[in-house]
Structure 1
Amino acid sequence: MKNYIQPGAMMSVTAPATVASGAGVLVGMLFGIAATDAASGASVEIATAGVFDLPKTSAQAWTAGAPIYWDPAEAEATSAADAGNVLIGCAAAAAANPSATGRVRLNGAVPAAAVPA
């Protein structure tokens, strides 16, 4: 195929803020995990698929398979489908309330809400 670019599991994006390796990066509706540290405005590789331990809303209990969102205001994963939160995948394992991290399987897809009607 002449028009094939790449699998898309790793993508280069412009860091919207200073990010550390392993941190969540949200660019529009594209979410991934930074592979390296990057300054705001610099190019950074992000993993858009896979299973990662991410900071989570501590006061939530997750069940395996529950939908998980990224809260850009708090820079953490959450089970709350609040306005402004972006669906990033599902819980790969149960997480207790309280706990600081949760295991998330990234879906690698742009949420349907981002598709114009």
Structure 2
Amino acid sequence: MKNCVSDGNTIDFIATAAVASGEPVLLGKVVVVSLGAVAVGEPGVGAAEGVYELPKVEADDIGQGAQVYLKADGTITSTASGNTLAGKAWAAAGNPSTTVWVKINA
């Protein structure tokens, strides 16, 4: 097939802030997880599919399968207002846990 440009599993990006390996990055409305550490202004590669353990708002009680959202500070929350859809919780993560498994872009 001549028109396939990517399998959609990864996406290249230019870091607008320093990014740690494994950190979620918002590219428009797409959440990716950086495959390595990236300095400001440098190119990086992010995974656009998969399940990742990401930092969450400690007080949130997130049920398995719930829609979750990415806050501007890089944490996952159950609050939609003012945040970007990140995907679905792959496992429950109650209060006071600090991480949640997320199937990104689901």
Counterpart of 1:80 in structure 2 is 79
What is the root-mean-square deviation in Å for CA atoms of aligned residues?
1.0
Counterpart of 2:20 in structure 1 is 20
Structure 2 runs not aligned, ≥5 long: none
Output aligned runs, 1:6-45, within 5 Å. 6-45=6-45
Structure 1 runs not aligned, ≥5 long: 109-117
- How far off is 1:30 after superposition? 2.0
Give 1:100's match in structure 2, choosing from 87, 98, 101.
98
User: How many residues are matched?
Assistant: 106
In the superposition, the TM-score normalised over structure 2's length comes to 0.95
- How far off is 1:99 after superposition? 0.9
- Runs of 4+ off more than 6 Å: none
CA deviation map 1:44-86 (0-9, x unaligned): 10001100000000001110000011001x2111110012x11
Question: In 2, distance between residues paired with 1:31 and 1:15?
Answer: 13
- How far off is 1:107 after superposition? 2.1
